[in-house]
Chain A
Amino acid sequence: MNQKIWVFIEQENECIAPVSLELLSKARELADELKGHVYALLLGHEIADLAAQAIHHGADTVLLADHPELATYRTLPYAKVATDLARERQPYIFLLGATPIGRDLAPRIASALRAGLTADCTALQIGDFERSGKVYEDLLYQIRPAFGGNIIATIVNPEMHPQMATVREGVMKQGEPDSTRQGEIERIEPQFDERNLVQVLEREVRQPTCDLKGASIIVAGGAGVGSRENFQLIHKLAHALNGEVAASRAAVDAGFISHEHQVGQTGVTVRPRLYIACGISGAVQHRAGMAQSSKIIAINSDPHAPIFQIAHYKIVGDLNKVIPWMIRACRTSQ
Chain B
Amino acid sequence: MVKQVPDTANITGQAMKEDGTVNRAALPAIFNPEDLNALEMALQVQEQHGGQVTVLTMGPPRAAEVLRQALYRGADRVILLSDRKFAGSDTLATSYALKCAVEQVGSFDLVLCGRQAIDGDTAQVGPQTAEKLGLPQITYAESIQSLQGNEIVVRRAFPLGRETVKCTLPCLLTVVGSANQPRPPSARRMMACKLAATPLEYTTLLELWPEFETEERLDTYLAERSQRIPVWSAADICADESKLGMTGSPTKVLKIESVVLESSGSKQIQANQKSVAALVQELVEDHIL
- Which residue on A lies nearest to B115, using beta carbons? A103
CB distance from A319 to the nearest CB of B (A): 10
CB distance from B153 to the nearest CB of A (A): 7
Decide yes or no whether A75 CB sits under 8 A from chain B: yes
Decide yes or no whether B123 CB sits under 8 A from chain A: yes
CB distance from A168 to the nearest CB of B (A): 11
Contact B250 A157 (CB under 8 A): yes
Looking at B44-52, B162-170, B204-212, B218-226, the stretch in contact with chain A turns out to be B162-170
Contact A259 B159 (CB under 8 A): yes
Q: With A75-B137, A150-B21, A198-B138 in contact, is A159–B263 under 8 Å at CB? A: no
Interface string of A200-218 (1 = CB under 8 A from B): 1111111110000000010
Interface string of A65-99 (1 = CB under 8 A from B): 00000000011100100000000000000000000
CB distance from B200 to the nearest CB of A (A): 25
Contact A201 B153 (CB under 8 A): yes
Chain B residues near A326 (CB, 8 Å)?
276, 279-280
Contact A151 B137 (CB under 8 A): no
A199 CA / B91 CA spacing, docked (Å): 28
Chain B residues near A142 (CB, 8 Å)?
251
Contact B13 A107 (CB under 8 A): no
Q: With A108-B137, A330-B289 in contact, is A296–B263 under 8 Å at CB? A: yes
Decide yes or no whether B6 CB sits under 8 A from chain A: yes
**Most chain A CB within a 10 A radius of its CB, from B92, B177, B251:** B251
A333 CA / B124 CA spacing, docked (Å): 50
Decide yes or no whether A265 CB sits under 8 A from chain B: yes
List residues 288-326 of chain A with CB under 8 A from any CB of chain B. Answer: 294-297, 302, 304-306, 308-318, 321-322, 325-326
Contact A141 B9 (CB under 8 A): no
Q: With A312-B265, A325-B277 in contact, is A117–B92 under 8 Å at CB? A: yes
Decide yes or no whether B281 CB sits under 8 A from chain A: yes
Decide yes or no whether A260 CB sits under 8 A from chain B: yes
A79 CA / B216 CA spacing, docked (Å): 50
Contact A111 B132 (CB under 8 A): yes
Q: With A108-B128, A148-B119, A332-B277 in contact, is A197–B263 under 8 Å at CB? A: no
Decide yes or no whether A9 CB sits under 8 A from chain B: no
Contact A155 B253 (CB under 8 A): yes
A197 CA / B168 CA spacing, docked (Å): 6
Chain B residues near A253 (CB, 8 Å)?
9, 177
Contact A153 B267 (CB under 8 A): no
A86 CA / B277 CA spacing, docked (Å): 59
A296 CA / B270 CA spacing, docked (Å): 16
Contact B160 A206 (CB under 8 A): yes
Contact B131 A107 (CB under 8 A): yes
CB distance from A215 to the nearest CB of B (A): 13
A321 CA / B10 CA spacing, docked (Å): 24
Looking at B79-87, B102-110, B187-195, B254-262, the stretch in contact with chain A turns out to be B254-262
Interface string of A255-294 (1 = CB under 8 A from B): 0000110000110000001100000010111010000001
Decide yes or no whether B127 CB sits under 8 A from chain A: yes
Interface string of B261-278 (1 = CB under 8 A from A): 111111111111100110
Contact B271 A315 (CB under 8 A): yes
Chain A residues near B125 (CB, 8 Å)?
107
A191 CA / B226 CA spacing, docked (Å): 50
List residues 103-158 of chain A with CB under 8 A from any CB of chain B. Answer: 103-104, 106-108, 110-112, 114-120, 129, 131, 141-142, 145-158
A207 CA / B159 CA spacing, docked (Å): 10
- Which residue on B lies nearest to A199, using beta carbons? B166
Instruction: Report which of B136, B138, B256, B268 forms a contact with A151, defined as CB distance below 8 A.
Output: B256
Contact B283 A295 (CB under 8 A): yes
A304 CA / B266 CA spacing, docked (Å): 15
CB distance from B218 to the nearest CB of A (A): 36
A283 CA / B20 CA spacing, docked (Å): 11
Contact A100 B255 (CB under 8 A): no
Decide yes or no whether B203 CB sits under 8 A from chain A: no
Contact A198 B250 (CB under 8 A): no
Chain B residues near A287 (CB, 8 Å)?
259, 261
CB pairs A–B below 8 angstroms (9 shown)? A110-B92, A112-B131, A119-B123, A129-B252, A197-B171, A281-B12, A296-B263, A315-B271, A325-B272
A contact set with B: CB distance below 8 Å: 74-76, 79, 100, 103-104, 106-108, 110-112, 114-120, 129, 131, 141-142, 145-160, 197-208, 217, 241, 249-250, 253, 259-260, 265-266, 273-274, 281, 283-285, 287, 294-297, 302, 304-306, 308-318, 321-322, 325-326, 328-330, 332-333
Which 4 A-B pairs give the minimum distances between C-beta atoms? A317-B271, A148-B8, A309-B261, A116-B250
